[in-house]
Amino acid sequence: MDAASPLKKQKLPPFDLNAADASLTRPEAPRVDIPATNPSTDGPIADVSPTEPEPLIAGMTSALPDGPAQSSPNPSPPENTPRPLMILRSGIPPGLSPRAQRAWEHYRKLGSPWRIVAPMVDQSELPFRMLCRKHGADAAYTPMLHSRLFVDSERYRKEHFTTCPEDRPLFVQFCANNPDTLVEAARYVEPYCDYIDLNLGCPQAIAKRGNYGSFLMDDLPLVRSIVSALSAASSVPVACKIRMFPSIDDTIAYARMLEEAGCQLLAVHGRTRDQKSARLTADWHVIKAVREAVSIPVLANGNIRNLSDVRACMAFTGADGVLSADTLLEDPAMFGREIDPPAEISGRVSEALDVPQPGTWHALPLMTPPDVIDVTIEYLEMVKKYPVPMRMVKGHMFKLLGGWFRVHTDLRDGLNQQQPATVDYIINMCKEMAQRNAADPLLRPLPDPRRQTPPEGKTMKKIIEAAVEKAGEAIDPPAGKGAKTASEYREQRLQLGKVAVRA
């Protein structure tokens, strides 16, 4: 199959998890050139008849409330919760059911990935995945794929799913609300991935309109039927990415139901579907409770801002790996800034560990690493090798270079006005930015004030003033470009900040 040809449906033999390295020895597939445009549909994914209200699942206390959810309290796990498994970096935990043992065998054959690129619409595309892999990521998710459109439209498949032989281990994520449609969609991608993932966590309005993502939490019998059908039909293991219920007990019951239905890997986002902001601290206590309640590998998602957070999260929750999204968009090399794998740890660690308080608000720090321009050029070279639509590329530029664009506003405006922008144009822009920074060592990237949580009585302007003042205190010698004193330099930076706010 050449790079331009569409994927063909394939009826594959059952996937033998006991065969040596079965997941790693499938015939290598050539790259399929099909990056993405945003899915857009006003109707549901498929015609799913509403079901009559019925008990959710055994052990579940309540359905989701209509209003905003509050962060759950952290009671002791129910009496029937198993004692935590020993979390090892190799080997198979003892005392497992045959299904759970197969789940662990597959995860171990993949190398026990623990630094994982999370699914991001228009942002976890092939060149970005390959960049993150180059800098330490062990595995990656595709952007969410719309199962019905993926089945119905060859053009959609070509635009939304791009991979290459080196893009492994790979999770291909679908949203779905119809078992048959998801099974059919999975057939297209089975030869090119290591997990088929069901999106049960998207909290956005489009997911509500389409009846998928976290809004399937209102119809758990349907969720069970989807996971069971995919598990029975797919030649690769099924994974699920979920959000938590307001109740910790309901979340545990939900996770167990998914495992019983055939899920072989569970990614848990420690926020409810009403907690959409990354500034609202995720609840690691819930992830820990889920990890102790199920027998399959568990990945944690939430509050990951640096590699220290990765280690703290794994130590506290006992999770087998961690997903990162927003942080990697600003620092794709984050996973590679330390290379030693985590030591073998127990599922229970000291409660004195410094754990973010769930339900609290925090400012997102400016993440502009000193090598960000070099990393950005690396990404652009990846785009040359694995072409994707320019809207994806430009989206990455504003994440990667946002702090510097608030300094070099003319470069930002030039990129916005360039129609169409080309990869070579952006590479030259990055080189110009690097030359300016080298000529003026006092220049510093500016934070995005919209990402800050202002203390009571503080305005956005005051936040910028404080950030600029702090940056100015570190100036030595006290002269910026065209400025004779440190105060003049701070005023220059402040004016740039005001321009950024108005923009």
Q: Which residues are catalytic?
A: 202
Query: What is the H or E stretch that residue 60 is in?
Result: none
- Beta carbons of 335 and 307 less than 8 angstroms apart: yes
412: left (phi over 0), alpha (psi -120 to 50) or beta: alpha
- CA of residue 231 relative to chain centroid, distance: 23
- Phi, psi dihedrals of residue 265, rounded to the nearest 5°: -155, 135
Handedness of CA 334, 338, 344, 346 (dihedral sign): negative
Length of the chain: 503
**What does the DSSP 8-state code read for residue 49?**
P
Handedness of CA 148, 154, 160, 161 (dihedral sign): positive
User: Interior CA angle at 466 toward 367 and 445, to 5°?
Assistant: 35
CA distance 29 to 5: 12
Instruction: Give 180: exposed, middle or buried? Use CB within 10 Å, 0-12, 13-18, 19+.
Output: middle
How would you write 27-43 as a 3-class SS string?
CCCCCCCCCCCCCCCCC
Q: Which residues contact 112 (CB under 8 A, 6 or more apart)?
A: 89, 90, 320, 321
How is residue 463 written in tokens? Answer: 């936040």
CA distance 383 to 104: 34
Q: How many CA atoms lie within 13 A of 183 on its CB side?
A: 15
Q: Which residues contact 399 (CB under 8 A, 6 or more apart)?
A: 123, 329, 330
Handedness of CA 417, 422, 426, 428 (dihedral sign): negative
